[in-house]
Structure 1
Amino acid sequence: MVTKPVAYVCNELFVSQSDHFIPTENRNSMVHGLITACDLLGEMIVVKPSKADIHDLQLFHESTYLDHLKNASCDTSDEENGEDIAYGLGYDCPLSDGILDYCKMIAGGSLAAAKLLCSKQCQIAVHWLGGWHHAKRDRASGYCYVNDCVLSILELRKQFKKVLYIDLDVHHGDGVQDAFYATDKVLTYSVHKFEPGFYPGTGSLDDIGFGKGKYYTVNVPLKDGIDDEQFVFVNKQLLTVIRNNFNPDAIVCQVGADGLSGDPMQSFSLTTDGLRLCVEHITKWNLPTLVLGGGGYNEANVAKCWCTITASILTRTLPSEIPEHDFFPMYGPDFVFDIDKSNRKDTNTSAYLSSIVNCIMGNLNKLYSKI
Structure 2
Amino acid sequence: MPSKDRVAYFYDGDVGNVYFGPNHPMKPHRLCMTHHLVLSYELHKKMEIYRPHKAYPVELAQFHTADYVEFLHRITPDTQHLFANELAQYNLGEDCPVFENLFEFCQIYAGGTIDAARRLNNQLCDIAINWAGGLHHAKKCEASGFCYINDLVLGILELLKYHARVLYIDIDIHHGDGVEEAFYFTDRVMTVSFHKYGDLFFPGTGDVKEIGEREGKYYAINIPLKDGIDDASFTRLFKTIIAKVVETYIPGVIILQCGADSLAGDRLGCFNLSIEGHAECVKFVKKFNLPLLVTGGGGYTKENVARCWTVETSVLLDTELPNEIPENEYINYFAPDYSLKIQSRNMENLNSKSYLRYIYIYITSFALTFYNFLQVPPDFYIPDFDDDELNPDERVSQHAQDKQIQREDEYYAGENDNDHNA
Bin the TM-score by the shorter chain.
over 0.9
Asked if 1:229 corresponds to 2:232, the answer is yes
- Residue 73 of structure 1 and its aligned partner are, at CA, apart by 3.7
Q: 1:163 offset after TM fit, Å?
A: 0.3
- Is the 1:322–1:337 contact (alpha carbons within 8 Å) kept by the matching residues of 2? yes
Contact 2:276 2:341 in 1 (8 A): no
Indicate the SS of the match to 1:52: coil
SS of the equivalent of 1:294 reads coil
> Residue 347 of structure 2 aligns with which residue?
344
Paired residue for 2:166, among 146, 163, 166?
A: 163
Q: Does 1:260 align with 2:263?
A: yes
1:328-348 deviation line (CA, Å, top 9, x unaligned): 000011110110211221000
Does the 8 Å contact 2:15/2:108 carry over to 1?
Answer: no
Question: Which residue number in structure 2 is paired with residue 368 of structure 1?
Answer: 372
Q: Residue in 1 aligned with 2:131?
A: 128
Matches for 1:50-199 after TM superposition, within 5 Å:
50-74=53-77, 81-199=84-202
TM-score between the two structures when normalised by the length of structure 1: 0.96
Q: Which residue of 1 aligns with 2:12?
A: 11
What letter corresponds to residue 195 of structure 2 in structure 1?
H
Kept in 1, the 8 Å contact 2:15–2:28? The answer is no
Number of residue pairs the alignment of both structures matches: 370
Take 2:47 and 2:81, find their aligned partners in 1: how far apart are those partners? 48
Greater radius of gyration (CA) = 2
Aligned-partner residue type, residue 16 of structure 1? G
Paired with 1:60 and 1:134, the residues of 2 have a C-alpha distance of 13
Alignment match, 1:212: 215
How far did 1:284 drift?
Answer: 0.6
Using the TM superposition, name which of 22-31 and 113-122 deviates more.
22-31
Note the alpha carbon deviations across 1:226-278, whole angstroms, 9 max, x for none: 00111000010000000001000000000000011111124100011111111
Residue deviations 1:70-115 (CA, integer Å, cap 9, x gap): 2224259999923201101011000112211111111111111111
Distance 1:19 1:141, change over 3 A: same
Asked whether the 8 Å contact 1:33–1:327 carries over to 2, the reply is yes
The one of 299, 303, 324 equivalent to 2:302 is 299
Match of 2:292 among 283, 289, 293: 289
Preserved contact between residue 62 and residue 154 of structure 2 (Cα < 8 Å): yes
**Distance in 2 between residues matched to 1:266 and 1:185, nearest whole Å:** 31
Secondary structure of 1:258's counterpart equals helix
TM-score scaled by structure 2? 0.85
Query: In 1, Cα distance between the equivalents of 2:262 and 2:8?
Result: 26
Secondary structure of 2:260's partner?
A: coil
In structure 2, the CA distance between the partners of 1:2 and 1:139, relative to structure 1 (3 Å rule), is farther
* Matched residue SS, 1:367: helix
Letter in 2 for 1:199: F
- Quick one: distance in 2 between partners of 1:266 and 1:131? 17
After the TM superposition, which segments of 4 or more aligned residues of structure 1 sit over 4 Å from their partners? 18-22, 75-80
In 2, distance between residues paired with 1:185 and 1:290? 17
Residue 18 of structure 1, CA deviation = 4.5
Whether the 8 Å CA contact 1:2–1:283 is kept in 2: the answer is no
Q: Kindly indicate whether the alpha-carbon contact (under 8 Å) linking 1:3 and 1:123 is maintained by their aligned counterparts in 2.
A: no
Change beyond 3 A, Cα 1:11–1:158:
same
Q: How far 1:369 sits from its partner (Å)?
A: 2.3
Asked whether the equivalents of residues 18 and 29 of structure 2 are also in contact (C-alpha less than 8 Å), the reply is: no
Does structure 2 conserve the Cα–Cα contact (< 8 Å) formed by 1:115 and 1:156?
yes
For residue 64 of structure 1, report the CA deviation from its aligned partner.
1.0
Aligned-partner Cα distance in 2 for 1:268–1:250: 28
Where 1:116 maps in the other structure, the secondary structure is helix
Percent sequence identity is: 41
CA RMSD of aligned residues (A): 1.7
Q: 1:52 to 1:280 in 2, by over 3 A?
A: same
